[in-house]
Amino acid sequence: MSYLNKVLSKDCVDFIDDNHIENIIKNTKEDPAKVRKIIAKSMRKEPLEVEETAVLLAAESPELVEEIFEAARKLKRDVYGNRIVLFAPLYIGNFCVNDCKYCAFRRSMRSTVRKTLNKSETVEQVEALEDKGHKRLILVFGEHPDYSADFIAETTKLVYSVKSGNGEIRRVNINAAPLDAEGFKKVKEAGIGTYQIFQETYHHETYAKMHPKNTHKSDYLWRLDGLSRAFEAGCDDMGIGALFGLYDWRFEVLSLVTHSRHLQNKYGVGPHTISFPRIRPAHGMEINEDYLVNDDQFKRLVAILRLSVPYAGLILTARETPEIRREVLEFGVSQIDAGTRIELAGYKKGEEEQKQELKKEQFQLGDLRSLDDVMYELMENDYIPSFCTSCYRLGRTGEHFMEYAIPGFIERFCTPNALMTLAEYLEDYSSDKTKKAGQELIKRELDKIKDDEKRKKLEERLDLIYHGKRDLYY
Ligand code: SF4
């Protein structure tokens, strides 16, 4: 790790106490009265304590589980309305010095096809994504000296510089290895949005088994402390996550809540997003299947995370099948990817084949549908697909975002902004069937706006977009 200055954040502690969490799980029994009291707290949009989340996890009876589902549905609507934010991942390089047992990119997997996009390939990929209508990307990097903070910063600037017709990327998030303080400063200056670091598993013993000793990633605390260093270096929006299926899902949920509270207590702002990818088949993967999470458990973990961290965005990726994504969306998901390809240089201009070559990819996807097909289905289910980036671009990030995310922020900003980004998509990129569904949705949403002046203003802006204006937002 010669290229990293391994200084931890101020007062850095390992805040994950395995025994404490295991005892909470063991000693918390189903208690309907407590469940209802805790749901009431969530409905007031108050983040839950770890012990309170454990009460929701201990609820097993179908009626109580349904009450939790119903509460999550309601909270989702109260805090996020019916909009779903869309993004796409763009893999930049899959060389890696680590040897994570569950990953096709691990260094000992010699048969994996390795590649790093060069500048012109990166531009081509971004143009292909812009020509489909994407405005928000997450750039994904293995851990390797070639993918230094300077390289990540340069790549971020390059992505922002690519314009194709009316296409542009307005927010670049990063999923990469933990950097040192200097590194986080550099990527912040390059204009990144969220920096995502997944702990993969918070269970120390399992973490050691999955991340061999002589690899960078074996350093549990360096990784756990990553986003604290990012906050102290001036980054605003953090993304945490766990790879479900490596250890007991309840342990990981309680650890994600512990991590959220740790950041909130230490920096006054919790995670911007939480991700909960489930393990998927991968080239040469070696894991024991004891902890695989079934669909019922997966729905419960999403609903319980929704109730536990009301202000954090929940990201559901194309790892999951369309059927599961359709079902789980209502439990509190606020962001999804669509039209996803995770092969290096996998995005093609025009129609893409719906197939994968696992030797070239990190894991098997569950949903290979195009962006247009996903948007059509969202609108058929009365969701507003959104490419909004206004909070990030207006500096409503970190603690400023949290302020707004609570008191009814939706009507004034989120829904109108979502509708304007949708109108852009319908004008520039959509198929006829999606355009028709989109125009009907916009009309329905305009009819919901009771304030005449507000509706008129939005109609004027939508009209400007239909006449060629772009990038309008509140
Ligand atoms: S999970 Fe990430 S760090 Fe681990 S081997 Fe794969 S790409 Fe490398």
> In which residue are the tokens 């009907």 written?
440
Q: What are the start and end residues of each CATH 3.20.20.70 domain in the chain?
A: 9-17+74-399
Percent of the chain with pLDDT over 90: 88
237 φ, ψ (degrees, to nearest 5): -110, 125
| CA nearest neighbour of 177 among 144, 212, 221, 137 | 144
pLDDT of residue 63: 98
Kindly tell me if the per-residue pLDDT of 78 is higher than 90. Answer: no
Q: Where does the pLDDT of residue 286 fall: very low under 50, low under 70, confident under 90, or very high at 90 and above?
A: confident
Kindly tell me if the per-residue pLDDT of 410 is higher than 90. Answer: no
Kindly tell me if the per-residue pLDDT of 406 is higher than 60. Answer: no
pLDDT 10s digits, 162-216: 999 999 999 999 999 999 999 999 999 999 999 999 999 999 999 999 999 999 9
Nearest-atom number in ligand 1 for the CA of 216 is 3
Question: Is the CB–ligand 1 distance for residue 24 below 6 Å?
Answer: no
Nearest-atom number in ligand 1 for the CA of 97 is 8
Q: Which of the pair, 1 or 22, is modelled with greater confidence?
A: 22
Q: Which residue among 217, 220, 223, 283 is best mutated to probe the pocket of ligand 1, counting the most ligand atoms within 8 A of its Cβ?
A: 217
Q: Which residue among 102, 106, 342 is best mutated to probe the pocket of ligand 1, counting the most ligand atoms within 8 A of its Cβ?
A: 106
Round the average pLDDT of the chain to a whole number and report it: 94
Protein residue whose Cα sits closest to atom 2 of ligand 1: 142
Tokens representing 410? 């939706």
Residue type, 401: F
The alpha carbon of 98 and the centre of ligand 1 are apart by a number of angstroms equal to: 6
Residue pair 179/4 in contact (Cβ under 8 Å)? The answer is: yes
Q: Where does the pLDDT of residue 142 fall: very low under 50, low under 70, confident under 90, or very high at 90 and above?
A: very high
Nearest-atom number in ligand 1 for the CA of 107 is 5
Q: What is the mean pLDDT of residues 301-329?
A: 97
| CA nearest neighbour of 196 among 244, 152, 245, 261 | 152
pLDDT of residue 355: 82
pLDDT of residue 140: 98
What's the pTM?
0.96
pLDDT of residue 79: 81
**CATH architecture designation of domain 9-17+74-399:** Alpha-Beta Barrel (3.20)
Kindly tell me if the per-residue pLDDT of 400 is higher than 90. Answer: no
pLDDT of residue 32: 98
Q: Where does the pLDDT of residue 349 fall: very low under 50, low under 70, confident under 90, or very high at 90 and above?
A: confident
- Counting other chains too, the contacts that 160-164 makes at CB distance below 8 Å and 24 or more residues apart are 160/191, 162/123, 162/126, 162/127, 162/130, 163/130, 164/126, 164/127, 164/130, 164/131
Cα dihedral 221, 271, 31, 296, rounded to 10, equals -90
- Round to whole Å and give the CA distance between 39 and 43: 6
Question: Is the CB–ligand 1 distance for residue 201 below 6 Å?
Answer: no
